[in-house]
Structure 1
């Protein structure tokens, strides 16, 4: 008889050794025979000593100490990810701020991106006009489809930014002047980026307006992966689309050519509608195609996975004591109050009061005072931002002190803004309106709006202040483009001439076609001298297609078609001067302002 234990007692359970079985759960019954093995002795054959039976209620076994994991993984054994283990890194901050899209590119986005690229190559090569708005529509649809497929839904502020960006693109369609068009296009891109990101903090608003730049390369990779997956999934469908498109193009070309040869009016209509694309413009058109493709993909990529700029927080500085924080600002408020008190009489007293209170001339006083007050306004906004960073906080008295001191500073700065605008009014009255003067006056006016918003934030809360400032800037740019600054400049100078003041024809003839309706009111030969150069420029660009022609240009061509300015332009060349009121003098024989050559 053998003294070895039985096979059942020395052989481990098969399920345990294989590692495939699980311990029975709460709803699982133990396996058959498990209870009998624990309640009675196991039969032993040939055993020298009988095996004692285990007690019915055995004591719980002491858990064995955990065995550390081997340094090298065992082949075939599943390893659990350990973020603290060497070689496994936690998610980087960049991946948290710039998450990759969790969804592939939808088909609607791919078609919209293709339409944007084609329209960019066909329409944008001839100039700017309504074509910008036409190209922006499929780009916006590409972003909309991508956001919808990723589970994002439009919110009120998203719609506000999107509608504002599209409205700004109406400025190139209406105005011929290049400088308000440039401001409108840049602002439209910034608002479109904000619509895709949905930021609401100061840093989020600033970085969110520039967010499309960093999404160009990731957007291309994302679009290429989506295009490959769509092509592999529907090869037969793509063949049908290509064949159908080819047949439609052939039919349009054949019958369109026949109809154009049969009717001259129909040929002119087709010539105006179809873009004139030559082989020489090939590289330029290819660049515009790539630009539209990259821009639309970047917008769609951002819509599917926007950067989380609001998670980047700027901690406020250490709170200062009340006296340490408030004393410099109170001194600044007293300085502002003293300046305003001494200048009120001069500001609203008129020309005679200026000569009595200062040693400067009328124009020098207006010119120098405006620029200094403009800088004072900008520096005041910087002082307010820095003061809020180190402001005392935590108690009700601290918040009351901050609101009182900064509120008084904002109110006094508003008076400084009014003073600067009044000086600009004196300046324009002396010399006339120019592009530089109307631009800085508009900027000073917007700074006044920002101060009003800061005061409102101190009363009602600052939660909406960053977005309110961005909205005010966009509205200002839109209003600046819609009022036609070149038209205002021409109208103000014509009105000055009607009031027996001088007029600078040399400057007015450099304006855009937006100034033609106002300059058309001048008497001859001043009218022809001012409009001859503009008419020549319009004749040189007469072959521009409809989608690259603004409404201001079409209106100017209609006016000059009725009465051309080129018929009497030779009178200006023979006389060597542009009419009786062209000399560049100001008030009291002063010469033209050398600080503003524009």
Structure 2
């Protein structure tokens, strides 16, 4: 301790008496008490003999300019509730089960194993939420069930691109189920909010494991010994039974995952990913971030004329375009192509992409218009609903025109992955416009979640219809209708296209199935990583394996048949 804090205060000095009675001293003290302080008499105050920080007592130190200031609370901490209670044993078991299943099953590819791994992770999040006192709400159940349904797509389809969309959408729906957001920004950030719980989830799980290990080491040792004995018994007796019966050995080999030393680093990485993901999900369920707390201020309301005039002009432009489209429908495409010097294929290809961009820009215009819309009185709300409702209705007709252009496009060139993808996006944009119109009538409280739900349903439907199978069916049907067929493109499809390609006559059938058959022959994925489309393709090819018509497949861009229609050839603008 410093010397300044160890000094004891000295008693006040008694006044020197000027007379025996002491009255003069008393009057002199009164006069001194009424005298002004030294500062008021123009004298400079005496500087303190000790620094200011030492006069406050205690073990104070001079301020350190290199010491960081006290941390300010982050924006994320203000949105997240208090630290959740310690992680329960049942949640820890679900987390460990998710990590083990990830390491054992996901290393061989995606199939039914994606859904198997997601089940214990979902249960862990459910138990963590129930411990924290959260109730299961209808939208939470919808997001959770939708996410699990999307993980059924890898179990059904072999094509990688719809499977990727389904897995990404499943993660987004699971994150929404954990956070329960409602606003536009909340739904967007909530679909990505699972990643914000990774670090906190790891710390939360670590604290729970340490607490349980310090309190029950004896019981933990008993559990580990029991598990070790059970594993040894399974290995010994399983090996004996497998050597005694070949059928049992085949069944056991198909059920057990293939764990090799060479794949240990990859499986360890999958274990870590499963562990981190399950802990993040459980922590987000126990302490979700309230993304709805982030608000975006509405723009300054504009006057009626300033706001409505540009939109009315845009509505008039849309109306003129739609009138021209109706004229085309009534007068026929042949007359339009004769007047514009366009071939059938050029007219089919010309307008779809422009109309797709027009639809996207219209949604942007609607969002900006709502930001600066006049508000406050009933007439303002009626004006906004009327102008934007007309714009949405006209845009819906533009969407129908774009889809009709795509139909002509596909009729001229055939269906491809790019064409079916952009047509699905255009169709979903039409659904969004319908939801916006419904919100104008019934209120916009559910609009953000309804748009997110429509996107999830669209991704699920896109995966379930088997786009590769649909592409193969459409191109095979065009060949039967005396159009050409692009075998070089069809042979690059997935196993989902095998049932449709199997109906082609030889040698086109063998040319289309040769590469797919070779890929399936070299793939030895176990049952949990094999999709239903891949298993069905193997059954088809097992009944009638394709030949090896190397010479007849050299010029297989167009098959036998063909058409006199202008533009009935491969589209050089769409290599996909």
TM-score where L is the length of structure 1: 0.83
| 3-state SS of 2:570 partner | coil
Distance change >3 Å, CA 357–CA 418, structure 1 → 2: farther
1:191 paired to 2:173: yes
| 3-state SS of 1:327 partner | helix
The answer to whether the 8 A contact 2:479-2:561 is kept is no
1:347-380 CA-to-partner distances (Å, cap 9, x unmatched) read 4654413313433221112212000000000000
Aligned counterparts, 1:192-207, within 5 A: 192-207=174-189
The answer to whether the 8 A contact 1:173-1:551 is kept is yes
Aligned counterparts, 1:458-473, within 5 A: 458-473=440-455
Alignment-derived partner of residue 569 in structure 1: 548
Distance change >3 Å, CA 72–CA 378, structure 1 → 2: farther
Alignment-derived partner of residue 597 in structure 1: 575
Alignment-derived partner of residue 11 in structure 1: none
C-alpha RMSD over aligned residues:
2.0
The answer to whether the 8 A contact 1:367-1:427 is kept is yes
1:437-480 CA-to-partner distances (Å, cap 9, x unmatched) read 00000000000000000000000000000000000000000000
Partner Cα separation in structure 1 for residue 553 and residue 121 of structure 2: 54
- Superposition deviation, residue 501 in structure 1: 0.6
Choose from 152, 164, 183 the match for 2:134: 152
1:237 paired to 2:219: yes
Partner Cα separation in structure 1 for residue 172 and residue 558 of structure 2: 47
Choose from 527, 530, 533 the match for 1:549: 530
Partner Cα separation in structure 1 for residue 568 and residue 71 of structure 2: 73
Distance change >3 Å, CA 585–CA 212, structure 1 → 2: farther
Partner Cα separation in structure 1 for residue 176 and residue 499 of structure 2: 37
The answer to whether the 8 A contact 1:101-1:301 is kept is no
Aligned counterparts, 1:495-506, within 5 A: 495-506=477-488
| 3-state SS of 1:587 partner | coil
Alignment-derived partner of residue 430 in structure 1: 412
Alignment-derived partner of residue 128 in structure 1: 110
1:67-118 CA-to-partner distances (Å, cap 9, x unmatched) read xxx9977669xxxxxxxxxx88885533111345331111111111111111
The answer to whether the 8 A contact 1:216-1:297 is kept is yes
Alignment-derived partner of residue 79 in structure 2: 97
Partner Cα separation in structure 1 for residue 561 and residue 102 of structure 2: 46
Partner Cα separation in structure 2 for residue 584 and residue 230 of structure 1: 74
Tell me the number of residue pairs that the alignment of Structure 1 and Structure 2 aligns. Answer: 516
- Superposition deviation, residue 586 in structure 1: 8.4
Distance change >3 Å, CA 363–CA 261, structure 1 → 2: same
Partner Cα separation in structure 1 for residue 354 and residue 467 of structure 2: 24
The answer to whether the 8 A contact 2:485-2:558 is kept is no
Partner Cα separation in structure 2 for residue 139 and residue 306 of structure 1: 16
Alignment-derived partner of residue 281 in structure 1: 263
- Superposition deviation, residue 213 in structure 1: 1.3
Partner Cα separation in structure 1 for residue 476 and residue 306 of structure 2: 55
Distance change >3 Å, CA 246–CA 278, structure 1 → 2: same
Aligned counterparts, 1:150-299, within 5 A: 150-299=132-281
| 3-state SS of 1:564 partner | coil
Distance change >3 Å, CA 579–CA 411, structure 1 → 2: closer
Structure 2 alignment gaps of length 5 or more:
1-52, 60-68
Alignment-derived partner of residue 426 in structure 2: 444
Partner Cα separation in structure 2 for residue 288 and residue 278 of structure 1: 14
Distance change >3 Å, CA 445–CA 279, structure 1 → 2: same
Distance change >3 Å, CA 315–CA 357, structure 1 → 2: farther
Alignment-derived partner of residue 340 in structure 2: 358
- Superposition deviation, residue 573 in structure 1: 2.5
Partner Cα separation in structure 1 for residue 104 and residue 406 of structure 2: 45
Alignment-derived partner of residue 454 in structure 1: 436
1:31-68 CA-to-partner distances (Å, cap 9, x unmatched) read xxxxxxxxxxxxxxxxxxxxxxxxxxxxxxxxxxxxxx
| 3-state SS of 1:210 partner | helix
Partner Cα separation in structure 2 for residue 168 and residue 412 of structure 1: 33
Partner Cα separation in structure 2 for residue 225 and residue 583 of structure 1: 71
Distance change >3 Å, CA 394–CA 155, structure 1 → 2: same
- Of residues 480-489 and 232-241 in structure 1, the stretch that sits farther from structure 2 once superposed is 232-241
Aligned counterparts, 1:18-33, within 5 A: none
Aligned counterparts, 1:342-381, within 5 A: 342-347=324-329, 349-381=331-363
The answer to whether the 8 A contact 1:431-1:586 is kept is no
Partner Cα separation in structure 1 for residue 76 and residue 54 of structure 2: 31
Distance change >3 Å, CA 554–CA 590, structure 1 → 2: closer
TM-score where L is the length of structure 2: 0.87
Alignment-derived partner of residue 533 in structure 1: 515
1:140 paired to 2:122: yes
